[in-house]
Structures are given as structure tokens and as C-alpha cells.
Amino acid sequence: MANHNTFGKLGEQKAVAFLKASGYEIKKLNYRYLNAEVDIIAEKDDFLVIVEVKSRNIGFLEDISHVITPKKIKLLTMAANHYMEELDRDLEVRFDVITVVKNADNFEIEHFENAFYHF
């Protein structure tokens, strides 16, 4: 596995630990539907939370407004809709982004709730 893939998986593990510690119930990891992949699907407070994880080394994190492209939003929305159909439950869906930034031997985690809205 390439180094960036390994680092990305480590970022997802850090994000999962963060979410669990924050009271989220993790439902699925790396959920795939057609061309879409959702990093984390979680639940908390009657919300189904679709989480995109972005892992970077210090100094390489883009402006959060540019992290998720319109194409990515469309794919995540499609996957979320499919998951909701499978789940057959009535939950409100929220789209979050978690950034995991490696700074020397430390990881800084930031959680952006309602990071974007589906259209």
C-alpha cells in the first residue's frame, strides 16, 4: 500500500477514535455505493452523520471550503441516500468533515459539523 494510503487509513482510525470518544456510534467504515465511498457513517442524537476524513501533514491542508468538490458532494449524497434506503429508518442526515493533521509526532483533529449541504 502506498504511503499516502497508509497515512489516510491512520487518519481515518484517529477520526473514528475521536468520534467514539465524542459519543458517536460508528455504523460503517469505507461504505461503497457505485463510484462513491463514504469514509465513516455514524449516528448521534437521531442524526445519520456522513463523515469525510482529510488527513494531511502540517502545512498541506487546503482551505476547508475547497476540500470537498461538487462532484464529491454529489457522490456522498448518492451513497447516503442508498444507505438510508438500506437502513429503512427515519434519521436526519448531516455531512461532516474531520481533518487530521500530523504535526511531528502529534495529530491535531478538527471536526466540522454540517461542513456542506447536499444539493
10 Å Cβ neighbour count for 87?
14
CATH of range 3-112; options 3.40.640.10, 3.60.20.10, 3.40.1350.10, 3.30.450.20: 3.40.1350.10
Q: Is the pLDDT at 118 greater than 70, yes or no?
A: no
Q: For 59-68, how does the pLDDT look when each residue is reduced to its tens digit (9 = 90+)?
A: 655 565 567 8
* CA–CA gap between residue 94 and residue 110 (Å, rounded): 16
What are the domain boundaries of the chain? 3-112
| Amino acid at residue number 56 | R
pTM: 0.86
pLDDT-based confidence at 95, cuts 50/70/90? very high
Report phi then psi at 47, rounded to 5: -115, 135
40 pLDDT higher than 60:
yes
How far apart CA 24 and CA 97 sit, in angstroms, is 14
pLDDT at 70: 86
